[in-house]
Amino acid sequence: MVPAPLPEPAAAPASAPRLANWPVDGTISSYFGARLGGFHNGLDIAAPMYTPIRATQAGVVQVAGQPYMSYGDTANIVMIAHASNFSTVYAHVDVATHPPLVRPGQRVAAGQIIAYVGLTGWTTGPHVHFMTIYNQRPIDPLQLLP
């Protein structure tokens, strides 16, 4: 997939937490921001099928493998809460042969493998749609990653 031109990202507030590590080793295939008349609310990182996905900060698992119905997508996701006002979402995870390794309520460490890259939902190739949600609002993950 050809990377979209980098639009003006929504600025992450200075108070937003920083992440410990990237969710996968891969290539950015689409940036956060305006895209195709809509708004791309995460950062797409392309990686081969079944690449391990790692928690980007310590937290508690909220969702593990269920579909994410917001924005009309049916991608299966893992969601981790890191604080009452900060969570991360890892979308398009595999559920067929490499289901998520975690369960809701489980505490995870930064860098811990939580799931594997898949093709669930709307996607033309294996990648992680990575979201950082701060005060109920998606913000640009690229500004929080190390």
Which stretches of the chain bind Zn ion, using CB under 5 A?
42, 44, 129
Residue labelled with tokens 């998606």:
138
Structural tokens at position 63: 């969702």
CB of 105 to Zn ion, least distance (A): 27
> Measured from the CB atom, is 7 or 104 closer to Zn ion?
7
Structural tokens at position 142: 């690229």
How many whole angstroms separate alpha carbon 34 and alpha carbon 66?
Answer: 26
> Measured from the CB atom, is 15 or 70 closer to Zn ion?
70
CB of 109 to Zn ion, least distance (A): 25
Residue nearest to Zn ion (CB): 129
CB of 30 to Zn ion, least distance (A): 6
> Measured from the CB atom, is 50 or 73 closer to Zn ion?
73
43, burial (CB in 10 Å: exposed 0-12, middle 13-18, buried 19+): buried
CB of 84 to Zn ion, least distance (A): 25
> Measured from the CB atom, is 27 or 83 closer to Zn ion?
27
- Cβ neighbors of 88 (< 8 A, separation 6 or more) are 19, 23, 55, 56, 57, 59, 79, 80, 82, 130, 131, 132, 133, 141
